């Protein structure tokens, strides 16, 4: 009887196994080959290339500034969640002054760094992910609703502007800026919806006493 996979892994990792298993492995070509293959597979996994993240620092930096006064723990309490959501919306409003009447248009910080096609693709991916989120809870937190409505409203206004310039007459830079803002808004919308879904789920499960 050859060694079990768990024992082969233990031998690969130089972990203790019983004496009979150790002596079997030493004498069995098949088990020795199995240990070698496990080691090769581990080496292959370690050699897999790293994955470059998208440029998220501007978002993180903005959120750091927004939430710097919030207590780090107990993020899932409804008061903290509502507070941070409202702060996020206020910050977003401040970040996109073109939505304020009469305000001059400014360029988004990272708009020029990402190709337009990538921004469109990322926007589509975020929309796909948003559609997969569970429906909003029956009992909504008011601050969440305000934030979600505000974000959706801003996305709609962006879409109107994008639709009115399908020919791209406003120029590549403007298109890039609009799509960059759209990605940022969708990302924030996902963040709020995701936090809401997880919060609702945790609360429901805790009430059932099964988590």
Partner 1 sequence: MSTFLDINVPGEWLQRARASDPVAQRSIYAALARPVYTLLRRLVLRPAVAEELLQEVFLEVLRNLGAYTGAGSFAGWVRSIAVSKALMHLRSPWHARLLPGDCQGAITAHAAPPGEGVDWGSDLERALNELPDVSRSIVWLHDVEGYTHAEIARLYERTASFSKSQLARAHAALRDALEPKFGDPECTFASKN
Residues that bind partner 1 (CB under 8 A): 1-6, 8-10, 30, 33-34, 37-38, 41-42, 44-46, 48-54, 56-57, 59-61, 63-64, 67-68, 72, 121, 124-126, 128-129, 132-134, 187, 190-191, 194, 197-198, 201-202, 204-205
Cβ-based nearer residue to partner 1, 104 or 131: 131
User: Least CB distance from residue 198 to partner 1, whole Å?
Assistant: 5
User: Least CB distance from residue 60 to partner 1, whole Å?
Assistant: 5
Rounded CA gap, 81 and 93, in Å? 18
Cβ-based nearer residue to partner 1, 8 or 87: 8
Supply 69's token pair: 């006064």
DSSP codes joined into one string, 9-75:
HHHHTT----HHHHHHHHH-HHHHHHHHHHHHHHHHHHHSPP-PPP--HHHHHHHHHHTTTS-SS-T
Cβ-based nearer residue to partner 1, 172 or 206: 206
Q: Are 191 and 135 in contact (CB under 8 A)?
A: no
User: Least CB distance from residue 161 to partner 1, whole Å?
Assistant: 24
Cβ-based nearer residue to partner 1, 124 or 152: 124
User: Least CB distance from residue 100 to partner 1, whole Å?
Assistant: 26
DSSP label at residue 108: -
Rounded CA gap, 51 and 45, in Å? 13
């Amino acid at each position: 009887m050859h060694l079990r996979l768990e024992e082969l892994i233990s031998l690969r990792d130089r972990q203790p196994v019983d004496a009979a298993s150790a002596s079997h492995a030493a004498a069995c070509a098949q088990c020795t080959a199995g240990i070698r293959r496990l080691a090769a597979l581990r080496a292959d996994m370690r050699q897999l290339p790293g994955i470059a993240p998208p440029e998220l620092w501007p978002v993180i930096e903005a959120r750091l500034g927004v939430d710097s006064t919030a207590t780090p723990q107990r993020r899932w309490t409804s008061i903290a969640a509502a507070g941070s959501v409202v702060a996020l919306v206020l910050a977003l409003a401040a970040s996109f002054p073109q939505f304020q009447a009469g305000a001059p248009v400014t360029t988004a910080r990272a708009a020029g760094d990402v190709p337009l096609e990538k921004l469109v693709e990322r926007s589509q991916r975020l929309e796909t992910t948003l559609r997969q989120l569970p429906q909003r809870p029956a009992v909504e937190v008011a601050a969440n609703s305000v934030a979600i409505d505000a974000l959706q409203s801003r996305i709609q206004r962006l879409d109107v502007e994008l639709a009115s310039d399908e020919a791209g007459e406003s120029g590549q830079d403007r298109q890039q800026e609009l799509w960059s803002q759209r990605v940022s808004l969708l990302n924030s919308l996902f963040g709020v919806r995701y936090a809401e879904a997880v919060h609702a789920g945790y609360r429901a499960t805790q009430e059932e006493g099964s988590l």
